[in-house]
Amino acid sequence: MDLSNENVVHVKKDGMEFLQFRRLLEYQEINHAYSLGIDRNYRTTRQDTYQQAINDYEVLCHAINSKTENLVKTNQDHTDQVKVVKKKINSNQPDFNLEEYAKTDGLVTNLPNIMLSTTNADCILLLFFDPVKKVIANSHSGWKGTLQRISVKTVRKMKETFDCNPEDVICCICPSIRKCHFEVERDVKEKFEKEFEDIEEINEIIQETIPNKKWNIDTVKINQILLQKEGLKPENIIDSKICSVCQSDFIHSYRVEKEGYGLNTAIIELK
């Protein structure tokens, strides 16, 4: 099966399958990819999966002509913390599991040869690129991160640190759970209603599926609206349009795999 559509291309190269955004491929100065394949696992925080993660990162980086030692990975904890990567800490190996990025869900840099990495299994991963200021960012926005508006805070970090103009910023939304499968109970539904009461479309974004018991929420749409309010142009917000649950044969999904679930990765680098 080919997951390519008008926004992404499904690449098969050197034993690796991954997605690339057609828009980002227009810029020679960056590398990027979103991994595919549930036989791959990019979880670096557990000893039993660490070596596989290293091996899988090596194959993925090689496929896009980069190096694993360029990798800098967040220690995700469903926070709204976005940090600026000012230097590579480990010279000959990836910056994985470092205290510098503890409880961090977004990274920003303007340095070349630093590959920003996030991971997901249903959560939204957001790749940012400012082609004018030559700045990249990579953020993890699960439903808790979306409630904390980490997408907006990532753009603001780019503005504050590197004087980026939001109108120049491109944001690519990687595969994630979509409204069709993101079903929640009343407590989560009410959190979204309270936090996003300023969004006119909120009643369309939250849809009741089982009367007074279950609701489906479109977190991708929420992030699109938040980013537009922050100044991004609608045409610069590019969605992969792929649901991780619908395509769980290709993409890790916590809701499908439950305990022992694997992780995909999104990576982006300035050359």
pLDDT along the chain (271 residues), means of 10: 97 95 98 98 94 97 97 97 97 96 98 98 98 98 98 98 98 98 98 97 96 96 98 98 98 96 98 96
Is 193 strand, coil or helix?
A: helix
Cα torsion 162, 166, 167, 171 to 10°: value is: 100
Looking at the domain assignment, is residue 148 inside a domain? yes
Print the domain residue range for 155.
Answer: 8-177+237-270
pLDDT of residue 208: 97
Looking at the domain assignment, is residue 16 inside a domain? yes
Looking at the domain assignment, is residue 171 inside a domain? yes
Are residues 233 and 23 in contact, defined by beta-carbon separation less than 8 angstroms? no
Burial code of 64-93, b = ≥16 C-beta within 10 A, e = fewer? Answer: bebebbbbbbbbbebbbbbbbbeebeeeee
pLDDT of residue 218: 98
Looking at the domain assignment, is residue 206 inside a domain? no
Looking at the domain assignment, is residue 220 inside a domain? no
pLDDT of residue 134: 98
CB atoms within 10 A of CB 238: 18
pLDDT of residue 24: 98
Q: What is the CATH number of the domain that holds 55?
A: 3.60.140.10
What's the domain count of the chain?
Answer: 1
Looking at the domain assignment, is residue 120 inside a domain? yes
pLDDT of residue 137: 99
pTM of the model: 0.98
pLDDT of residue 59: 97
Looking at the domain assignment, is residue 55 inside a domain? yes
Nearest residue to 43 (alpha-carbon basis) of 53, 29, 32, 57 = 53
pLDDT of residue 145: 98
Distance CA 137, CA 30 (A): 12
Are residues 237 and 129 in contact, defined by beta-carbon separation less than 8 angstroms? no
Looking at the domain assignment, is residue 150 inside a domain? yes
